Amino acid sequence: MAKTGDRARTTAVSALASLDFALDRGSPVPLYHQLAQQLEAAIGHGVLAPGNLLGNEVDLSVRLGLSRPTVRQAIQSLVDKGLLVRRRGVGTQVVHSQVRRPLELSSLYDDLETAGQGPTTEVVRNEVVPAPCDVAAALGVPEGGEVTVLDRLRRTHGRPVALLRNYLPVPLLDLDSARLEATGLYRVMRSAGITLHSARQTVGARAATAGEASRLDEEEGAALLTMQRTAYDDTGRAVEYGTHIYRASLYTFDFQLLVRP
Amino acid sequence: MAKTGDRARTTAVSALASLDFALDRGSPVPLYHQLAQQLEAAIGHGVLAPGNLLGNEVDLSVRLGLSRPTVRQAIQSLVDKGLLVRRRGVGTQVVHSQVRRPLELSSLYDDLETAGQGPTTEVVRNEVVPAPCDVAAALGVPEGGEVTVLDRLRRTHGRPVALLRNYLPVPLLDLDSARLEATGLYRVMRSAGITLHSARQTVGARAATAGEASRLDEEEGAALLTMQRTAYDDTGRAVEYGTHIYRASLYTFDFQLLVRP
DNA sequence: AAGTGGTCTAGACCACTTT
DNA sequence: AAGTGGTCTAGACCACTTA
């Protein structure tokens, strides 16, 4: 009799076989990316269930009218995202659901993507000052040189959750406070032509000072999460340095790690 | 006259041209990986300086006797690591040094790689217990089912820095305390045939209880960093659940983010 | 033994950037 | 116009897993 393994395999292949992928060769978006998006959507909708095998790459490429390298490139991008697992001699499987939910690191995700929503951000301060020592070192500008300092208070459900302080080199862009509150720092930077490449972050904790406590609606000595970040553009210039504090009672950093083989 | 841009380009090409890459076609390690390793080493040693152009892929493949896709695969792997930047119409450049230093997240890095060194780990508890509610949910075992609980105290320079508590499904492996102290949890798991795939982490902060304070040599109410992690193998099974606390005065999480285009 | 992914080749054409 | 990376093809052989 067929065992569960056989049944699963049959189901998997037919599930994929019944899918029709719409590939548009005239589109400017690459074929491998079109395929990857549609595979990801199929996984997201549960059409391809966890554990399902994808069927071998050669058959897939023939059925789609693509070359095998192109199909591989699509599959590889989903493997890199942690959605699929390849095993030599076995096949390509959809990863089990609990493992998925690829999250970005909360704070950077906020800055990159949040636009209004629940959380609101109030610009408390936005001015040009001489660079303190640590800021100058992080941004690679002379100590005492001009930098923009930006203080923001972030609230969720009306309660303060974070004090965000950012320093930016002055010549990069001018910061419109109203626009910042509406769209977030990274969106403003991006639309100014700054393409982010990478960032270094340090997360720690310490007790709240009296001033911090009052602004965050906490008690003095309450545990705070701290985060420092230096962000670089793709030419290697430091474009932002931030020192942020979060109410530990309301905020955590949540993220997923993928172990590279 | 030649401007700095021209000089940089010339320097870059000759620097790469003078390198001789030793590619062994008989080796089991793939050619693209051999090339990537040697490029990475050249960057690490400063032979390829930040901002240097790599020279175009076609020439490089001809000079190395490789096909262009193979060379591209090598370069792409370094782009994924954040060491190189490609720009269409321009070329491939070495990223500026400050951006580099690709770090793993400290704690997981510790668990994966640390073997003795400065930090030492003492196994305080290693026994089988019924699974508490949160542990059962995280590991996907029945509540009250048997799990191994492992408490460890980590010290650096003789001072306690962290209390590590891990839960593991019992059938997976048996944990030899002496071996754990010598090689770390993830090494023990790996040699038991468990291949890690991904992990979900939550980092927060809170005040130390009296008991925690005394074990960590802190004062009651001192700020602690907390970390919870669930790790999965490549079949999607949860293989470890950990709740760790760190002395915020001695420990931070340090990591790098790459922004995917 | 059969089937899978892993690697590699030798081309081709296109889109973009710079000169 | 020239040079760069980005995409794509149609094969080939190998290493590994499973039956």
pLDDT tens-digit map of B33-69: 999 999 999 998 888 888 878 889 999 999 999 999 9
What was the pLDDT predicted at B248? 94
Closest residue to B225, CB basis, from A108, A205, A222: A205
Give the CATH number, domain containing residue A172: 3.40.1410.10
A44 CB closer than 7 A to any strand C atom: no
pLDDT band, very low/low/confident/very high, at A114 (cuts 50, 70, 90): low
Looking at CA atoms only, how far is residue A50 from chain B in angstroms? 9
Residues B70 and B174 in one domain: no
Judgement on whether residues B112 and B89 belong to the same structural domain of the protein: no
Last residue within a domain, chosen from A94, A110, A128 = A94
Please report the pLDDT score of residue B166 as a whole number.
96
pLDDT at position A139 over 50: yes
pLDDT score recorded for residue B8: 37
Mean pLDDT lowest among A124-128, A182-186, A204-208, A236-240: A182-186
Q: Quick one: which residue's CA is nearest to C10's C1'? A: B67
Are B112 and B33 in a shared domain? no
Using a CB-CB distance cutoff of 8 angstroms, which residues of chain B are in contact with residue A105? 257
Is A259 domain-assigned? no
Note whether A35 and A140 are same-domain residues: no
Q: Are residues B88 and B213 in the same domain?
A: no
Q: Residue B107 in contact with residue B244, Cβ under 8 Å?
A: yes
Same domain assignment for residues A146 and A177: yes
Question: From the list B95, B198, B257, which residue is nearest A105 (CB)?
Answer: B257
Residue A261 lies in a domain: no
Which nucleotides of chain D does any protein CB come within 7 A of? 2-12, 15-19
HEC-encoded secondary structure of chain A? CCCHHHHHHHHHHHHHHCCCCCCCCCCCCCHHHHHHHHHHHHHHCCCCCCCCECCCHHHHHHHHCCCHHHHHHHHHHHHHCCCEEEECCCEEEECCHHHCCCCCCHHHHHHHHCCCCCCEEEEEEEEEEECCHHHHHHHCCCCCCEEEEEEEEEEECCEEEEEEEEEEEHHHCCCCHHHHHHHCHHHHHHHCCCCEEEEEEEEEEEECCHHHHHHHCCCCCCEEEEEEEEEEECCCCEEEEEEEEEECCCCCEEEEEECCC
Residue A30 sits in a domain whose CATH number is 1.10.10.10
- B145 and B31 in a single domain? The answer is no
> In total, how many domains does chain B have?
2
Boundary of a domain, candidates A59, A94, A129: A94
Q: Is residue B17 part of a domain?
A: yes
Average pLDDT, integer, range A123-142: 94
The residue ranking higher by pLDDT, B230 or A112, is: B230
| B105 or A252, greater pLDDT | A252
Closest residue on chain B to A96 (Cα): B236
Q: Mean pLDDT across chain B, nearest whole number? A: 84
For residue A15, name the pLDDT band (cuts at 50, 70, 90).
low
- To the nearest whole percent, how much of chain B has pLDDT over 90? 52
**Residue B94: predicted pLDDT:** 92
User: What's the average model confidence in pLDDT over A219-239?
Assistant: 91
Quickly give B41 CA vs D4 C1' distance in Å.
25
Let me know if residue A175 belongs to a domain. Answer: yes
User: Which nucleotide across the nucleic acid strands is nearest to A70, CA versus C1'?
Assistant: D8
The 10s digit of each residue's pLDDT in A182-216 is 888 888 888 888 888 888 888 999 999 999 999 99
Task: For residue B59, give how far its alpha carbon lies from the nearest alpha carbon of chain A (Å).
Answer: 22
Q: How far is A178 from chain B (nearest CA, A)?
A: 26
Please tell me the pTM assigned to this model: 0.84
Residue B259: inside a domain: no
Identify the closest residue of chain B to A101 by CA–CA distance: B200
CA distance B119 to B250: 12
Residue with more model confidence, B4 or A28: A28
Q: A139 and A208, same structural domain?
A: yes
pLDDT confidence tier of residue A97, bands split at 50, 70 and 90: low
pLDDT in tens, B149-201: 999 998 888 889 999 999 999 876 777 888 888 888 888 888 888 888 888 88
Q: B22 and B137 share a domain?
A: no
Query: Is the same domain home to A77 and A104?
Result: no
| Per-residue flag: B72 CB under 7 A of strand D | yes
| Closest Cβ opposite residue B197 in set A50, A99, A202 | A99
Say whether both A170 and A234 belong to one domain: yes
pLDDT computed for residue B16 by the predictor? 64
A106 and A22 in a single domain? The answer is no
Identify the domain boundary among A94, A127, A161.
A94
Instruction: Tell me what pLDDT residue A260 has.
Output: 72
Evaluate whether residue B261 is within a structural domain. no
Interface-testing mutation among B33, B106, B197, with chain A (most A C-beta atoms within 10 A): B197
Say if strands A196-207 and B253-258 run parallel, antiparallel, or are unpaired.
antiparallel
Mean pLDDT computed over A144-155: 93
Best interface-test mutation with A: which of B32, B76, B99 has the largest number of A CBs within 10 A?
Answer: B99
Instruction: Print the domain residue range for A224.
Output: 99-254
Does B239 map to a domain? yes
B121 domain-assigned: yes
Report the nucleotide nearest the CA of residue B72, measured to C1': D5
